[in-house]
Amino acid sequence: MQLRPYQTEAVAAVYDHLRQRDDHPCVVIPTAGGKTPVMATICRDVITRWDGRVLILAHVKELLEQAVSKLDAIAPDLWNRIGVYSAGLRSRDTEHSIIVAGVQSVYKRAAELDAFDLILLDECHLLAPDGEGMYRTFLADAQVVNPNVRFVGLTATPYRMTTGVICAPENLLNHVCYEVGVRELIVQGYLCSLKSKAGQRKVDTSGLHLRGGEFIAGEVEELMDDDALVRSACREIVGYTRERHSVLIFAAGVQHALHVQRVLDGMGYECGFVCGDTLPFDRAETLARFKRGELKYLVNVNVLTTGFDAPNIDCVVLLRPTNSPGLYYQMVGRGFRLDPSKDNCLVLDFGGNIVRHGPVDALAIKDRSPGNSEAPAKECPECQTVIHAAYGICPECGHEFPPPQRNQHDQHASTAGVLTGEVTETEYDVQDVFYSVHVKRDAPDDHPRTMRIDYRCGLNEYHSEWVCPEHHGYARGKFEAWWRARSHDRLPSTADDAVTLAEAGALAQTQSITVRSVAGEQFDRIIDYQLGSIPPPPDDIDDDCAAGVLPASEYTDDECVPF
């Protein structure tokens, strides 16, 4: 097997780290980017170049099988030096130079396996942050057997759900020695491109609570397993996937998944189902049918996030919210693999995950380690006091916060882009418009003010823009063009004047707006409008004022810019 250029770089970075530092490195390669060939190359070098012994630790049977097959492919001459220690694979080899082991099978048997020079930790984001995990137990004993053993982690997601990044001076893994990003590999043609379909809104998760950094599972399933929501979401899934071949659905719980399966089956679309309790034979048969393309829809509960390789997946449906950026990434990552049957992979997000965590190639990761956590807080909309999130009534002004709306949610997929730079344009009907004077925070008293326009496009859906009647040059020119497209009245020279005229009916009614969202950018932008008829000019306005013609002495040089 010929390594890709970035895989070769990753191997070299590991060796440089081990030579130059005395701590333990981590390699970050995206899902489907090929971590196993990197491990296989390192194993071969350890055995043939340095006469060493190496252990590969993983947590699921599929990862062990993949490691063995890739080792055979990249170093077929070593097949008789590779052993497997896994109860699930019914093998307990201990004498070979390369051992591929399931952590559940060996975490109390470090002495039985004898000394290793290098231990490779596949999917190392699963390492427990405290000392109680099986990985920690085994690795501590392995250091007793050989105090000089070195650890190398490999993962697509170098952070945990509860404590943020996994590499730190005090952690088991200390430094990311090599990292390549999702977007780089997509551009280079090694990963499948992603797209997300524009819907209307995400599910309302404001009533969910956290436990151990993740939403409480029972609350998530109660929220998502609403019959109207499930039926509407299934209709949308079917509508978006008519030209798709293999659709992987992540559900919020077993009952929710079975509900989704029943609804899709009732619509005439066979849907497979797997969960942690699915019998091994049934699970293997269902996954095999899905991989062969015989089963278009497959719904699962927490079992196909890592170690599941189905390159034909061309749509991933996130029919559940998660507060874990790693889980979000792993779910989306099921569609990263290249396959001749697809040009891209569609991501349908019904859980608000893209908005919550950001584009999958630019995740917003918070360091949740001790000393870096923030108390949950909210801002009172009446007096702007920042208070603890648990307050139902603001202690400063008495404002009553509405109770969490546990069962109010929309059944449409999110509009957010799943990759940075992805542009989504969505048209909204405007139900109401509000005008106000906006003063920039901490600005001096003489700083020009703006007019803020808020468009209400739903019960709690607002989009805003700002225009600049008090500025000069380009900003003033844009305001003049904005005003003339809506009014025959005189051009106002102050924000107060503009708001007064707008509230008096000087502007055409805005019937709809088109909002452009660019994934990875903080703010959306209104790029188009559908306007009603422009009100007639008042009787007391002259033609020059209506046209915005001012005496020459009132222009400054920068207002002569012709745009």
> Stretch 461-477: mean pLDDT, rounded?
88
> Stretch 174-181: mean pLDDT, rounded?
92
Q: H or E element: which one contains 285? A: helix 280-291
Q: What percent of the chain has pLDDT over 90?
A: 45
Lowest-pLDDT range, 77-86, 170-179, 373-382, 538-547?
Answer: 373-382
Q: What one-letter code names the amino acid at 347?
A: V
Q: 61-74 and 35-48 are packed helices; what angle lies between their axes, rounded to 10 degrees?
A: 60
Residue 218: per-residue pLDDT: 94
Instruction: Look at residue 122 and tell me whether its pLDDT is greater than 70.
Output: yes
Q: What percent of the chain has pLDDT over 70?
A: 83
Q: Residue with structure tokens 């975490």?
A: 107
Residue 391: per-residue pLDDT: 53
Instruction: Look at residue 327 and tell me whether its pLDDT is greater than 70.
Output: yes
Residue 551: per-residue pLDDT: 38
Instruction: Look at residue 302 and tell me whether its pLDDT is greater than 90.
Output: no
Residue 380: per-residue pLDDT: 58
Instruction: Look at residue 211 and tell me whether its pLDDT is greater than 70.
Output: yes
CB atoms within 10 A of CB 438: 16
- DSSP 8-state class, residue 460: S
Residue 131: per-residue pLDDT: 52
373: confidence class by pLDDT, cuts 50, 70, 90? very low
Question: Which residues in 164-203 are b (16+ Cβ under 10 Å) and which e?
Answer: bbbbeeebbbbebbbebbbbebbeeebbbbbebbbbebbb
Residue 117: per-residue pLDDT: 94
Residue 386: per-residue pLDDT: 45
130: confidence class by pLDDT, cuts 50, 70, 90? low
For strand 423-429 and strand 510-518, is the pairing parallel, antiparallel, or unpaired? Answer: antiparallel
Lowest-pLDDT range, 358-372, 376-390, 407-421?
Answer: 376-390
3-class SS string, 75-112? CHHHHHHEEEEECCCCEECCCCCEEEEEHHHHCCCHHH
What number of CA atoms fall less than 13 Å from residue 362's CA on the CB side?
15
Residue 365: per-residue pLDDT: 61
Instruction: Look at residue 337 and tell me whether its pLDDT is greater than 90.
Output: yes
Domains annotated for the chain, with CATH where assigned, are: 5-180 (3.40.50.300), 193-357 (3.40.50.300), 423-560 (no CATH)
CA distances from 306 to 30, 70, 549 (A): 12, 17, 66
> Stretch 25-51: mean pLDDT, rounded?
90
308: confidence class by pLDDT, cuts 50, 70, 90? confident
CA distance 247 to 94: 41
CA 142 and chain centroid, separation: 36
Q: What one-letter code names the amino acid at 238?
A: V
Instruction: Look at residue 346 and tell me whether its pLDDT is greater than 80.
Output: yes
Residue 479: per-residue pLDDT: 93
Residue 359: per-residue pLDDT: 83
Q: What is the mean pLDDT of the chain?
A: 83
Structure tokens at 333: 């990552």
CA distance 352 to 526: 21
pLDDT tens digits along 240-252: 999 999 999 999 9
> Stretch 308-321: mean pLDDT, rounded?
92
pLDDT tens digits along 49-86: 889 999 998 877 777 877 787 777 777 777 788 888 88
pLDDT tens digits along 386-441: 444 545 565 555 666 665 544 444 556 666 677 777 787 888 999 999 999 988 77
> Stretch 149-177: mean pLDDT, rounded?
84
Greatest CA span in the chain, whole angstroms?
99
Residue 25: per-residue pLDDT: 95
Residue 267: per-residue pLDDT: 97
Q: Are 265 and 298 in contact (CB under 8 A)?
A: no
Lowest-pLDDT range, 166-180, 345-359, 409-423, 521-535?
Answer: 409-423
- The pTM (predicted TM-score) of the whole model is 0.68
3-class SS string, 260-278? HHHHHHHCCCCEEEECCCC
> Stretch 452-472: mean pLDDT, rounded?
86
